[in-house]
Amino acid sequence: MNIYAQILIDEAKRRGIRVTVIDEAAGMFILEHGEKRIRCRESLTDRTSAVAMTICENKALTRRLLKREGFSVPEQVVLSRGAKPEEVRSAAETHLEKWGSAVVKPLRGEQGTGITVDVSAPDEVERAFRFAAQCGDEVVLEQYVRGRDLRIIAIDHSFVAAIERTPARVTGDGRHTVRQLAEEANRKLQEQTGGEARIPLDGETRRVVRQSGFDLDAVPPAGKTVPLRKTANFHTGGTIRDVTDQVSPRLRKIAEEASRILDIPVVGFDFIVPDFTGERYAIIEANERPGLANHEPQPTAERFIDFLFPETKERTQERAG
């Protein structure tokens, strides 16, 4: 099983919960205790309704519902994959004038697929639109919010953990090209994540590298950091750092309240914030199947099993004692 399923299976087994694997490749399994039987796909379970999953899958719908309740969210416009080039350019010109820069992404998607971040020219938006349109029927043009990327986990509508996510980058050694450094980073990622994460060497990576004044075949000076991506997703090589203890009470409360509005019991919210200890924020997305393994050593697996099987909490407390 992948690391996101295995961490939950291990915790269930420690509590005497029966585990039956349905499909290893998909990370699907069944947990049974007494008369209770719950199907899981990693952290997505029978306890998440089809309606809640539909909301989270649709980035524009997530935004509308949160905005209606007064949460801070970026501005958006949704374009059809079949939009004519002049329609895309017109939307880009109109909104870039207000926003300065934009994010272009599929309306539905995960793990950073099809996303282009921080585009400030209509030509760039058109290219990013074509890239995103390969991944779905609708494309979101969204206001780019600058700040630090914060993933917050809420389980049973309670704050559990948070990580800062940093986009993939390499540091020059004065001898190897950006491409070689990225390939070496990918070899390490392959070993560390079992193939779960990889930095794509695609058009978006070339664009980000060019913004730093290099190309993939350039040799950056020793000590020079070269960004490779602007999305901080773990699956595209982003790095993560636990910041659970730094998150302000206000941001914790916002995540808990947003989970109730979306009526989703296990969720990962993507926030952009200027400061983890402050109150300003923008909620970018809600993820219905967050990777709880990314938050170790925080007790995300324990809280997940507590939520599904509260009757087994005593066994956890006995082990701790």
pLDDT by position in tens, the chain (length 321): 888 999 999 999 999 999 999 999 999 999 999 999 999 999 999 999 999 999 999 999 999 999 999 999 999 999 998 889 999 999 999 999 999 999 999 988 766 678 888 989 998 899 899 888 888 888 999 999 999 999 999 999 999 999 999 989 999 999 999 999 999 999 988 887 777 778 988 888 998 998 889 999 999 999 999 999 888 777 788 888 999 999 999 999 999 999 999 999 999 999 999 999 999 999 999 999 999 999 999 999 999 999 999 999 865 555 554
CA atoms 157, 3, 184, 199: torsion sign: negative
Residue span of the structural domain in which 126 resides: 75-144
218 near 178, Cβ under 8 Å? Answer: yes
In a domain, 304, yes or no: yes
Residues 197 and 307 grouped into a single domain: no
In a domain, 252, yes or no: yes
In a domain, 10, yes or no: no
User: What's the CA angle centered on 191, arms 110 and 150, to 5 degrees?
Assistant: 40
Residues 130 and 161 grouped into a single domain: no
Residues 161 and 292 grouped into a single domain: yes
CA atoms lying within 13 Å on the CB side of residue 222 = 3
Residues 176 and 129 grouped into a single domain: no
| Confidence at residue 64, expressed as pLDDT on a 0 to 100 scale | 94
In a domain, 3, yes or no: no
Residues 135 and 181 grouped into a single domain: no
| Confidence at residue 198, expressed as pLDDT on a 0 to 100 scale | 84
231 near 115, Cβ under 8 Å? Answer: yes
| Confidence at residue 278, expressed as pLDDT on a 0 to 100 scale | 93
* 52: alpha, beta or left? (left if phi > 0; alpha if psi -120 to 50): alpha
In a domain, 198, yes or no: yes
What gap in Å lies between CA 214 and CA 236, rounded to an integer?
20
Q: Structurally, how many domains does the chain consist of?
A: 3
Residues 70 and 153 grouped into a single domain: yes
| Confidence at residue 313, expressed as pLDDT on a 0 to 100 scale | 87
| Confidence at residue 131, expressed as pLDDT on a 0 to 100 scale | 87
Residues 200 and 110 grouped into a single domain: no
The residue type found at 308 is L
Name the pTM for this structure.
0.88
Residues 243 and 153 grouped into a single domain: yes
Residues 162 and 69 grouped into a single domain: yes
